[in-house]
Structure 1
Amino acid sequence: MDSFLKKTEILLDEEISEKKFIDKVSFFLNRECYIYAIIPEYEEDLLKKISTDFIAVKSISISHISPWNVGQLGYIKDEKKQYIYEFYLRSTTMDYVVFSEVDVSEHLQTINKKNIDIYKIFEMSRIPHITIGADGQWINIIEYN
């Protein structure tokens, strides 16, 4: 089944600028971009910055970080790609960030404490998406043929 999966890693410069990052992502996501994420509550300044555009679906325990941590599961329809760099910068403190041209917001309700992996929504439905690699050193482009 994975024979139709195409995963490409794009290495990023250590100090990549916002414009260069957006250009790299825009090469694969030509249209509007949906950003799906679980934003930990300790990322208060990010939550405030995006509060008018972030649609919180539900609070979810992210106990793998610590037993009392809670995150906001939700998404942004980022038509101008104005938030993707901010999420890239925070990717080292947020485990789940996905960029896609496809609206999967109705599937976010399936995420819970026992099934926190939002990547599975994209993988099981074979939806092209972009994730950020460890320490923000690369982006993963996942495509299906």
Structure 2
Amino acid sequence: MARDAEDVIYRGRRRWNGNHGRVWWDGELLFEISKFECKVTAQREDVIIGNSVDSKVVGLKGEGSITIKSVINRNINAYLEEWKNGHDPRATIVGLLEDPDAVEGQVERCSIDNVWFNELTLMSFEKGNVVTKEFPFGFTPEDSKFIEDIE
């Protein structure tokens, strides 16, 4: 007996697990990735209609962060030198989320272009802990898209 899509029961093993997520920074796989997040936030202005306050989207803001378990320098010095020379280098980041135990064949892949970094952690450590570095970034939402998405 065939089931309608509404009747499908999803088990816990079908939930996404971030352990298989991957990130590429300018085409280079970040094998030491710990956490990745990117989001688009609507910039709104209030609009008064009668006695009600509504809102209108007037812009979009893209931002995110990459956290890595520090193994190599990741060209931080190159970005620092560009900044010191008055340049604003831009990057491309691609994120991929897949889970071999989720529904077979389903992946999400998002490409984010025109990425700028807001700060560079040159050095940070705490004795007894694995060294991590976080790279907060911004991007123009018009330069982002899903290459693959879950239907």
With the length of structure 2 as denominator, give the TM-score of the two structures: 0.26
Bigger relative contact order, structure 1 or 2, given CA contacts below 8 A and separation 6+?
Answer: 1
TM-score (norm 1): 0.27
